[in-house]
Amino acid sequence: MLNYSDEELVAYLEESLPLEKAADLEKRLRSPESDENKALLDRLQQLILTRDSGTHTIGEIWKRHRLSCPTREDLGRYILEAMSDEESTYIKIHIEVTECDVCRSNLDDLLHATLQANQAAINDRRGRYFQSSVGRLKKQ
Ligand SMILES: [Zn+2]
């Protein structure tokens, strides 16, 4: 099991920890049932407190995107690519690296709904086009 220095934990918060390490760390933070993982989480929270001191930058991003799941709205914006690269990277990591099942199925669900909505819009356009063609034919 990997061990983490304070520097590495800070690097994690600053998004500069190598991806494999970040993924390992994140997996452990997501299962605080083990004492070892709980200790890591405590250290990380302590670091956030001492580093952030009131500003909501790293701590907020971390809370919003790392340990807690993104909201359905966030996932929707992720699909539509209506978010910053930074945000979409968090979600990508959350889903693809930490393999959060909840968000995966949410995302599948949303993708499906988006595809259906697109298809409906296409059908609608087709329908209107067809009708206007019929209208033109009738007039002739
Ligand atoms: Zn999730």
Report CA(93)–ligand 1 centroid distance (Å): 10
pLDDT digits (tens, 9 = 90+) for 64-112: 545 678 888 999 999 988 988 878 877 887 787 777 888 999 999 999 9
Whether residue 35 is predicted with pLDDT greater than 80 in this model: the reply is yes
pLDDT-derived band at 13 (thresholds 50, 70, 90) equals confident
Report CA(107)–ligand 1 centroid distance (Å): 10
Report CA(63)–ligand 1 centroid distance (Å): 12
Q: Which pLDDT belongs to residue 108?
A: 93
70 close to 91: Cβ distance less than 8 angstroms? yes
Burial 129-138 (b: 16+ CB within 10 A, else e): eeeeeeeeee
Report CA(125)–ligand 1 centroid distance (Å): 36
48 close to 58: Cβ distance less than 8 angstroms? yes
Mean model confidence pLDDT for the chain:
78
